[in-house]
Amino acid sequence: MSLHHFKEKIRVALYVQKAALQFIDAGGRYEYRLSEEAREAGFGIHPDELASIGRSHDVRALKSHGGVDGIARKISVSLSEGVSEEEITTRQNIFGLNRFAEKQARTFMMFVWEALHDLTLIILMVCAVVSIGVGLATEGWPKGVYDGLGILLSIILVVMVTAISDYKQSLQFKNLDEEKKKIFVHVTRDGKRQKISNYDLVVGDIVHLSIGDQVPADGVFISGYCLLIDESSLSGESEPVFVSEERPFLLSGTKVQDGAAKMLVMAVGMRTEWGKLMETLSEGGEDETPLQVKLNGVATIIGKIGLSFAVLTFLVLTVRFLVEKGLRHEFTVWSSTDALVLLDYFAIAVTIIVVAVPEGLPLAVTLSLAFAMNQLMTERALVRHLAACETMGSASCICTDKTGTLTTNHMVVDKIWLCEKPTEVNSEESVAMLKSELSGEVLSLLLQVIFLNTGSEVVKVDGKYTTYGSPTEIAILDFGMRLGADFDEQRRNINILKIEPFNSVRKKMSVLVAQPNGRKRAFCKGASEIILRMCSKFVDSNGETIVLSEQEARNINDVINSFASEALRTLCLAFKDIDDDSSDENTIPEDGYTLVVVVGIKDPLRPEVKDAVMTCLAAGITVRMVTGDNINTAKAIAKECGILTPDGVAIIGPEFCNLSPEQMRDVIPKIQVMARSSPTDKHILVTNLRKMFGEVVAVTGDGTNDAPALHEADIGLAMGIAGTEVAKENADVIIMDDNFSTIVNVARWGRSVYINIQKFVQFQLTVNIVALVLNFFSACISGSAPLTAVQLLWVNMIMDTLGALALATEPPNNELMKRPPVPRGASFITKTMWRNIIGQSIYQLAVLAVLNFAGKNLLGLTGSDGTKVLNTLIFNAFVFCQVFNEINSRDIDKINIFRGMFGSWIFLGVMFCTVTFQVVIIELLGTLASTVPLNWQLWLLSIVIGFVSMPIAVVLKCIPVETKTKQHDGYDELPSGPELA
C-alpha cells in the first residue's frame, strides 16, 4: 500500500468518525459510569468520556467540566507539579497504555503455508503422489515409493528452509518497526521536567511541546505561544491549525509547526483519535525497493527461459521415448512402467522450472537488507525505509549539517565581547575574574539577556542542575549560572507578555516582558550580523548605553569575525526598553536595540570526523557542509575536518539563491561550504545536484524546516538526538548518535548490500545456465537427464536459500570505500560478472559433458550399476563445482577470494552444511535421491573437478574487460549483450 493511499484512507476514516460523533451528539449524550477502581483512585471522570471530549473537540463539554483546571482536578493532577511517579501504574491500569493495537504477527506456520503455495512445488507434489501410487502398483512396498518419497522429502526441506528464513526476517523487521515508532517527550513529573519514552506517557502528564515535535497523545492546551499544529497526517488538510485557549485541543500524531506549549494528556493509546483510526485501518507493508523490482524483472526473464527449456526437455525426452517404442514395435503395448517413465520426464521438466526460476533473487535482497539493517541498528543507525539502505551505496554526495553532526554538540561559551573588549571565559578562574571586574549594572543586564530570553529550563535534581533545551541555549544558560546566577530567581518577578521563538527563517529569538516597575523591555538574541544591524547602541563598562557609531560597529564586526575564524559560533544578545507612551499592543520592535554581549560558543569537532571525511573522499563521495552559521565559522570547521580544500568554494545561502541557472551550473560542483543557509537554500542545492548533475544525494537534517530537503534527497538522514519528529518522519535513515562517521557506516553497508546481491546473482546465474543446458542437451542426445528431480531440488536449495544466506550476508570490508559510487541508472549485471558467469559455465559444462558422454569408458565403469555410478558422479561433481564457485563469487574482480572468509561464520556454516548434506544424500539416502555410494577415488575426483573452478576463476579475473568507465570490483557498465537488468 502506498503512503498516499494510506493517508487517504486515514482522512476518509476520520471524516466518517466525525460524522458518527456528530450523530451520537445529536441523539443525546451517552451516560458514562465511573468504575469503583477509578473512584477509589481519586478520579472523577470516565476514561472514555475524557477521551471523547478531546476527539470530538467538544469545547462545551470541556467548559462544563470546569475547563482545563476542572479536568486536571477530575484526573487528580496539578498543572504545575504534574503526575507523581507513584501513580503511573494506577493511571495505566485505569486509562490505558500509550500503545496502539498492532496487526497480529504472522506465525511460523503461516510462512510454511505460504511457501507450500508455490505453483511449481504443488505440481511436484502431485507428481510425487502419482509416482508413489504407480510405483506401489508396479514394484510394491517399499521400492515403489522411493522416487515419490524422495521428491516429497526434498519439497519439505525446501519449504522449511524458506519458511525459517522468512520468519526470521519478519521478526527482525518487527523489532525495527518498534524502534521506528519510539519517540522521546519532555514532561513535568513530581514538579521536575524530565525526558521519557512516549510509551511511558499516561493520562494527566504535562507534556512540553516545541517546534518539530510530534504530539504523542490526545490532550488539551494549558499554556504557550504561537502554537501552530500541522494536522495533515490526520485530516489531509495542508493549512496548519492555530491552537490556543479558545481552540485548545491537540491530537496524537499531529506535528508542531511553530511555537511552544504545555499540554495536559487526556487520552493515550487506543482511546486517542489515531488509535481509533488504527482499529479500522491496517498499514500496508513496505513497497519493494528499486533493486527488488529490478531483480524481479530478471527473475521473470530467466523464468521464461527456464520454462522454454523445461517444455523442450519434456518434448525431446517424450518424442525419443515414443520413437524408441515405435522402433521396437511396442507402440501399441503400454504398461505402468511406461507411465512412470513419462511421469519421471514430467517431474524433471517441472524441476527444471524450479531450478530456473530464481526465487532466491528477491530473497537475497531481503536477506541482505535485513542483515544490514540489523547490523546498522547496533552501529546507531535506524533505517526507516528498506530502499534507503541500497540507495546509500550509490550516494555520490553528502550534504551535511555542522552542529552536532561534524561537531560534538556539547557547546560551551569560550569567549565573549563585553564592555568593548573580548575576554576568554573557558575556565572557572576566568569567569570569576570577569565577574569581579563587572559593575553591578552590567552584570544585571548580562544576566537579564541570558535568563529572560530563553525557551529552555533549568531543573534542580538531587542537588544538581540539569538544563533542558537546545545545545546553544544550554551553553549560554550554563555560562550565566557560572556567573553565580539562579534561573528561578531571575525569572521570579517577570511577566512574559510575548515570545517569538527562534527558527531557521528568523534566525533570532525575541521576548517581550513586563518588569516589576511596570515598564516593558524587549530582549533579542540570534545570528550576530542580524542582531548587530538591529542595534543602535551598546553597553559600556559602567552600564551606560552609548550610541553605536559606524566605527564601533566595524570593530564589533571584526571581533565577530575573529571569533568565527577560531571556529566559534557567535551570537549577539541585546535589549530595548519600551516607552510608556507606546502602543498597548504587545508588538516586539525590530530595531533600536542596545547590544550587551557577543558570545563565542565552542563546539569541538568530533575526533572521528576527519577520518570519516577522508574515507568519503576516497570513496568518490563529495562532502558539502550546509550550515546556518557565520561563513567564517563554517570555513574554519570545514578546513579542520578536511571538507574545504584550496580549490573549493564557500558561499552564503542568499548569494547562492541569487545566481542564474548558468552560474549555478558552474559554481555548484565547486561548492564545499554553504553558510547562513536557510532550508530553502538547502532544498535548491539538493534539487539542482540531483536534476542538473544526476548526483545521488544524501542530506542530513534536524529541524522541522529541513523536511523538504530530506524529502527531496535520494537519502534523507535525520538526527536522532537533535532532530525533530518532523525531520525524522521525512527521513529514510535516523542517525541515532548524530555522528557523521555513522553516516559513512550507512554508505559502507549500502555498498555491501549492492555488491553482495551482485555476488549472489553471478553465482545463481552460473548454476542456472549449467543445470539447464546440461539436462537439455543430455536429453536431446542420450534421451535421459543425468540430474533427477530430487537432485535438482537439492541444487535449488544450494543455489537459492543457502546461496543467498552465504553471499547476501557478507559484512562490508574496507575495500568497498575505495571505489567510486555506482552511477545512477547503471546496469546491475556488469561485463565483469558476465565474463565470470560465461567462463565458469563453459568449464563446468565441458567437464560434465565429457563425464556424461565418455565417463564410462574413461573411468572403466562396467556392470549393471555403471550408469547409476556415473550419474551420481556427475551430480556430485556438479554440486562441488557450486560449492567452490560460491567461494569464487565472494569477490567479483579480486583474485584473493579468501579475504574475510574465515571471519564470516554464516558463510562457513553454509559451506559446512552443504558438504555434510551432500555426503548424507549420496552415502545414506541413495534410494530416495537416485544415487549410489561412491568410492574414495570418485569422491576425490568430484572434489578436484570442483576445486579446479578456483584457478579457472583466477584466470578469468586476469582477462581485461573493456568498460566505458573505470572499473572497480564489478562497478562498471553492462555489455551490449543480453540486458537482464
**Whether the bond into 362 is cis, omega within 30 of 0:** no
**Chain centroid offset of residue 892 CA:** 27
Predicted TM-score (pTM) of the model is 0.72
What would the grid cell of residue 182 be? 519510539
Q: Taking Cα atoms as reference points, which of 552, 549, 572, 548 lies closest to residue 560?
A: 572
Show the cell assigned to 974. 553492462
Residue 146 pLDDT > 70, yes or no? Answer: no
Q: CA dihedral defined by 302, 306, 312, 313, rounded to 10 degrees?
A: 150
* CA dihedral for 275, 279, 280, 281, sign (positive or negative): positive
CA distances 56 to 51, 100, 229, 488, Å, are: 9, 19, 17, 38
**How many Å apart are CA 454 and CA 143, to the nearest integer?**
87
Q: List pLDDT tens digits, range 814-850.
A: 788 888 888 777 777 888 888 999 999 999 999 998 9
Print the SS3 string covering 730-751: CCCEEECCCCHHHHHHHHHHHH
- Mean pLDDT, range 726-750, rounded to an integer: 85
Beta-carbon contacts of 712 under 8 Å, excluding residues fewer than 6 positions away, are 683, 686, 687, 690, 699
Closest by Cα among 580, 575, 570 to 591: 575
The three cell numbers of residue 819 are 571505489
pLDDT digits (tens, 9 = 90+) for 490-537: 888 788 888 888 876 778 899 999 888 878 899 999 999 899 999 999
Mean pLDDT of 331-355: 72
Instruction: Encode pLDDT of 929-946 as tens digits.
Output: 778 888 889 999 999 999
Cell of 312: 523442450
Give me the residues paired with residue 468 across strands. 457
Residue 448 Cα distances to 494, 517, 518, 652, 779, angstroms? 10, 15, 16, 32, 93
Mean confidence (pLDDT) of the chain: 81
The three grid cell numbers given for residue 650, joined into one nine-digit string: 564557500
149 closest CA partner among 907, 926, 875, 972? 926
Structure-model confidence comparison of residues 102 and 923, the more confident one? 923
Catalytically annotated residues? 401
For the segment 269-286, what is each residue's pLDDT rounded down to a tens digit? Answer: 888 877 777 665 544 445
Residue bearing cell 567462463:
839
Residue type, position 360, single letter: G
Least Cα distance to 633 among 647, 623, 622, 644 occurs for: 644
Query: How, if at all, do strands 545-547 and 671-675 pair?
Result: unpaired
Pull the grid cell for residue 981. Answer: 537488468
Let me know: does 276 contact 55? Beta carbons within 8 Å. Answer: yes
pLDDT in tens, 276-313: 776 655 444 455 566 666 676 676 777 777 778 778 87
pLDDT exceeds cutoff 60 at 26:
no
Q: Is 910 helix (H, G, I), strand (E, B) or coil?
A: helix
- Residues with Cβ within 8 Å of 922's Cβ and at least 6 positions away in sequence, in order, are 872, 875, 876, 929, 931, 932, 933, 934
Q: For the residues 362-385, what does the mean pLDDT come to?
A: 78
Contact 541, 420 (CB under 8 A): yes
- 455's CB contacts (< 8 A; 6+ apart) are 210, 260, 469, 470, 473, 499, 501, 502, 509
